[in-house]
Amino acid sequence: MSFKTLSSDLARHMPKLRGKMQDNFSLDRITWFRVGGPAQLLFQPADEADLAYFLSSLPGDIPVLPIGLGSNLLVRDGGIEGVVIRLGRGFNDIAILNETDIRVGTAAPDVRVAGAAAEAGISGLSFYRGIPGSIGGAVKMNAGAHGTETCEILKFCQAVNRQGEIVTLPVEELGYSYRHSNIPDDLIVTSAVYQGAEGDSATIRQEMQEVADYRETVQPVKSRTGGSTFKNPPGESAWKLIDEAGCRGINIGKARVSELHCNFLINEGDARAGDLENLGEHVRMKVRENSGILLEWEIKRLGIPENGPGGRRVHPE
């Protein structure tokens, strides 16, 4: 499966572009599941001004989607139509602003931000030690763990919209709830300012070590996975419902429900995105039969199914 190439037409209309464009870039190279078809165009901007220039010049009918480190994504086998934007160098600076505040580029991995905050004696960010994504994904998903969520420490973020305008959004405007924000799918968050509290570096580092040790014992952190597949329904644990429905360890081909943590799906080798999605849907059906509860996907499923109807589905949810 490949899409019509876009880069040469776009390059002609954007003579000052400094970032890198790649046609038909295989997303299985960068998703944690190691599955997924191509992005019609992958664009990696040089910096925020370059991103703004690109978006302001891009024809309005071409869809745009940011991705981070791909740790919460199930990209379908037919790939993603339009432009996928991935931030890299130019978006990963970390600056300590004062005793409690830290500004970070959204390409920075959560783990590195937790480390920088610890070094500076800023507490409140050590839960990021256990989340294998980038700050962009954390701000969009309201990533959380060990009793803290992103929205509790975020002050505001900066972003570039589809028209190429740079906007600043305070946390109150981001519509946060459990693993959810109202950030539009085509808004590219470029930096974020967090407020922690004054703390002691050694104590924070100890907390981070405890987070890391705990993860190793309860999650298949070294597998090809997308983290928690389904959100916990109010007052319930998704993993318990899945276990009670008899789904621990079941598989479709090389796609398997983890034995260690049954809210995780695993690609044991050459699974297709379709196998993982079908397995997830099978689990949802079994849980509904057993408990009457319909689980909601936490993993973001994106793109076109391999033999999808007309190949037009880009954002299914």
Q: Which of the residues are catalytic?
A: 179, 228, 298
Q: Which is nearer to ligand FAD, 35 or 143 (CB)?
A: 143
* Of residues 121 and 295, the one with the C-beta less far from ligand FAD: 295
> Which position among 24, 44, 106, 191 is part of the footprint of ligand FAD (CB under 6 A)?
106
Sole binder of ligand FAD in the list 36, 137, 280, 303 (CB under 6 A): 137
Q: Does 70 bind ligand FAD (CB under 6 A)?
A: yes
Nearest approach in angstroms of CB 186 to ligand FAD is 9
Identify which of residues 73 and 121 has a Cβ nearer to ligand FAD in the complex.
73
Q: What is the CA radius of gyration of the chain?
A: 20
Q: Any contact of residue 92 with ligand FAD (CB under 6 A)?
A: no
Q: Kindly state whether residue 227 participates in binding ligand FAD, applying the rule CB under 6 A.
A: yes
Q: Taking CB positions, which residue lies at the least distance from ligand FAD?
A: 137
Q: Which residue has the tokens 């160098």?
A: 89
72 binds ligand FAD (CB under 6 A): yes
**Residue 303 within binding range of ligand FAD, rule CB under 6 A:** no
Which of 17, 75, 87, 266 touches ligand FAD (CB under 6 A)? Answer: 87
The reply to whether 45 sits near ligand FAD by the rule CB under 6 A is no
Residue type, 192: A
Binding mask 244-283 for ligand FAD (x = CB under 6 A): ----------------------------------------
Is residue 211 at the binding interface for ligand FAD, with CB under 6 A as the rule? no
Number of residues that bind ligand FAD (CB under 6 A): 34
3-state secondary structure at position 267: strand
Q: Are 88 and 82 in contact (CB under 8 A)?
A: no
Number of residues in the chain: 317
Q: Give the SS3 label for residue 266.
A: strand
Asked if 145 interacts with ligand FAD (CB under 6 A), we say: yes
Distance from C-alpha of 70 to C-alpha of 149, rounded to nearest angstrom: 19
What is the dihedral sign for C-alpha 88, 179, 302, 35? positive
DSSP string covering 203-258: HHHHHHHHHHHHHHHHS-TTSEEEEESBPPPTTS-HHHHHHHTT-TT-EETTEEE-
50/109 Cα distance (integer angstroms): 21
Residue 134 DSSP code: B
DSSP structural state of residue 232: P
CA contacts within 13 A on the Cβ side of 40: 20
Note the residues at the interface with ligand FAD (CB under 6 A): 32, 65-73, 87, 106, 130-134, 136-138, 140-141, 143-145, 187-189, 219, 221, 225-227, 300
